Structure 1
């Protein structure tokens, strides 16, 4: 598949998803604070995780430009489906979380603070970040070599760890996002395959 076609599918899925995320953050005030669990307690807050967190913004384009062409439309559709499901939750069940204070004592802390200032404090549950990473991971490991699949899964787990480590999300909303990502990809793949 051509570069332009891959780019169109990437943008067709990613831009509306981002729009839904930001627009819904202004609809209503959060009524639920997502609690931390024991699992969150096992992962200490650390600024250094921001670098793995930001890997997301390279991981998504990489997935669309490297994945087998048969997974591109399911990935793009799954982005839209997961954003739509999450958007409904964001509007009717708005949530936030308790964010730790950031001490600006290192470059990593400065970067994390920049991310925090430019992100909404709402729309925590479910984690759309987690959904999109999951969708891209499923697309990348489809028909991929065993070695590549292991590497991709390892990177995915590191990004999930960093999401909690930087307290951009906690275990409950990340888990919900991952679940929605899996369901959205499976539904999109099933529907598109039936049309063939």
Structure 2
């Protein structure tokens, strides 16, 4: 990978992820109008474990990895899909802010301290849809390759671990995962239709 290609990939990552950061910052401020979501049977099936924080935080490695390792023609679509996820989620956060009752935890352990740091910088709202899930899935889509099956399997297991960690940490509910998945699917569909339309017009 030459320096120009690396710069382009990093710039797209900065723009895509930067959009998420801006939207999250301006829509994550606590409000009294937030709807408290109740856990479902699926949520209650997962036991709280602070150790899941490490899978949760690995999200911040998985995202830039997607930009650096996906095929060149997928970098810009990944950036646009990430921006769309941020805008769709941000609109929902403003129109229908959500929160939940969070689990108590022990801060004497390393995992507990790491979780405490996360909670101090994370918003107690912006649950539905889960950006943690939607961004993970669009990155997985960018990394997916039928030629590199072993790598695809590793990326898939990593993505699943990240998505499950939000339930084990009790930072999100199952409905947040479902809506996050739907958001990712919608963003990818918009990108695909737009790209297909542009390519068709060029012919």
Q: Same fold (TM over 0.5)?
A: yes
Is the Cα contact below 8 Å between 1:63 and 1:139 reproduced in 2?
A: yes
Residue 186 of structure 2: SS of its match in structure 1? Answer: helix
Partner of 1:125: 128
Matched, 1:106 2:109: yes
Aligned match of 2:157 in 154, 159, 162? 154
Contact between 1:28 and 1:91, CA under 8 Å: does it hold in 2? no
Q: 1:37 aligns with which of 40, 44, 47?
A: 40
Where do 1:1-196 residues align within 5 Å? 2-26=5-29, 28-142=31-145, 144-196=147-199
| Structure 1 residues without counterparts, runs of 5 or longer | none
The CA deviation string for residues 92-146 of structure 1, in whole angstroms up to 9 with x for no partner, is: 1011111111221211000011101111101111111111001101110045522
Give the whole-Å Cα distance in 2 for the aligned partners of 1:30 and 1:133.
28
TM, length-normalised to structure 2: 0.91
Runs of 4+ in 1 over 4 A off after TM superposition: none
Q: When the two structures are superposed, what TM-score results if normalisation uses the length of structure 1?
A: 0.94
Q: CA RMSD in A?
A: 1.5
5+ residue gaps in structure 2? none
Aligned length: 196
Per the TM alignment, residue 66 of structure 1 is displaced from its structure 2 partner at its CA by: 0.2
TM-superposition CA deviations, 1:138-175 (whole Å, max 9, x none):
11004552222111111111111111111111111122
Deviates more, 1:133-142 or 1:57-66: 133-142
3-state SS of 1:101 partner: coil
Structure 1 CA distance for aligned equivalents of residues 54 and 194 of structure 2: 36
Secondary structure of 1:124's counterpart equals coil
Q: More displaced, 56-65 or 29-38?
A: 29-38
What SS does structure 1 have at the residue aligned with 2:128? Answer: coil
Separation in 1 of the partners of 2:76 and 2:27?
25
Q: Indicate the structure (1 or 2) with the bigger Cα radius of gyration.
A: 2
SS in 2 for 1:168: coil
